[in-house]
Chain A
Amino acid sequence: MNSYGVTLVPDATIVLEVAVFLIVLAVVSRYVLPRLQSAVSERQRRVAEKLAAAEKAEATARTTEQQAAASLRAARQEARRIIEDAYERRDHLIKEGVRKGREEYRWYTGQHLPLGAPVADDVPTTAPPSA
């Protein structure tokens, strides 16, 4: 096994080995690692920036979503109010129609009340028998 022998006793080679490793260490730690470290730091900075931007966008999206939900809630309330108003108006129109119908009935049947005068409730709502 040539000089890769089993001996455990170091010789002068060890001095050269120390020198070789120290040179490698000097070159790597002076020229290679700082550059790599700065690249890693720069990448981490960019990732952090993008992460912050993404978090900001997420917060904006959440706010917009909340605003949309609030708008939707308000729109539903408005729609409910409009429907209730419509029902109220319908009931009013029906009552008004019934009242006018009774008035006309009395007028036609000879009671000759002026149009718009108050009418008693005993007037039948069905049509009079045909002559």
Chain B
Amino acid sequence: MTGTQLDVVLASVVTGLIVIALGLFVRARTSVNNPGATQVLWEWTLATADGLNRGGQTPYRRRATAVAVTLFWFILVANWLPLLPGSPLVAPTSNINLTLALGLVVIALVHVTAIQARGLRGYLRHYLSPVWLAPVRLIEELLKPLTLALRLFGVIFASALMAMLLAELLPAPVAVLPHAVWNLFDVLMGVIQAFIFALLTLLYFDAALPATSTAKEHINE
């Protein structure tokens, strides 16, 4: 590891501040009867995460939901950061440091939560049985943060590269339309990638946590 890329950190800090500001805005204006558009969007992500989190409402499942919702908003804002009007920043998710950091945090939280939920013995039994599959499970767990990080990084970096190429290769008047179309595509891609990251996070939590009766019912269905 070498030095620090301050512009990436700055973009991530701006992303974090936007997410926190949005969250606190929603918190300040939370209404049961007349929710605003931002509250509806946050509630929608919360409900979607709750719905995908099949194991019911244990504290560990709630933690999974919180991580997934926060990841969704953080990645979404990070992906959309360069699309904001007048933004000098590039998407921090187009840098491997942020995506790998997110992947590592997710996997670390998954394992810490699994140990808390199962106990150390139950956790080891879960991951090491059958014994002959343990090496495969270990490789799988090591690869999870990498796959999470590389998928997001690859898509957003390619998207930024494509936007740059459009700007470089086409003369300015001609590039307007392709650039606009590509920005629209970027908006959609930003949502999809944020959703995929959050969904995979929930699946990793689901695989690590003990199945509750609700989860078993879902599996039986």
- A residues near B, CB below 8 A? 1-14, 16-18, 20-25, 27-29, 31-33, 35-37, 39-40, 42-43, 46
With A13-B97, A40-B43: A4-B157 Cβ-Cβ less than 8 Å:
yes
Q: Which of A1, A17, A36 contacts B12 (CB 8 A)?
A: A17
Q: Which of B73, B97, B160 contacts A10 (CB 8 A)?
A: B97
Interface of A is mostly: helix
* Chain A min CB distance to B152 (Å): 13
* Chain B min CB distance to A92 (Å): 72
Query: When the two chains form their complex, are residues A17 and B98 in contact, meaning their CB atoms are under 8 A apart?
Result: yes
Across-interface contacts of A36 in B (CB, < 8 A): 26-27, 30, 39, 42-43, 46
Instruction: Report the interface size class on chain B.
Output: 35 or more
The interface stretch among B99-107, B115-123, B205-213 is B99-107
Across-interface contacts of A16 in B (CB, < 8 A): 4, 9, 12
Q: Which of A11, A20, A42, A43 contacts B4 (CB 8 A)?
A: A11
With A1-B164, A3-B7, A25-B67: A14-B100 Cβ-Cβ less than 8 Å:
yes
Across-interface contacts of B90 in A (CB, < 8 A): 1-2, 4
22 pairs, CB–CB < 8 Å, chain A vs chain B:
A1-B90, A4-B90, A8-B150, A9-B1, A12-B4, A13-B97, A14-B100, A17-B9, A17-B92, A17-B98, A20-B12, A20-B16, A21-B12, A21-B70, A25-B67, A27-B23, A28-B73, A29-B67, A32-B24, A33-B69, A36-B39, A37-B46
- B residues near A, CB below 8 A? 1-9, 12-13, 15-16, 19-20, 23-24, 26-27, 30-33, 35, 39, 42-43, 46-47, 63, 65-67, 69-70, 73-74, 90-92, 94-98, 100-102, 104-105, 150, 157, 160-161, 164
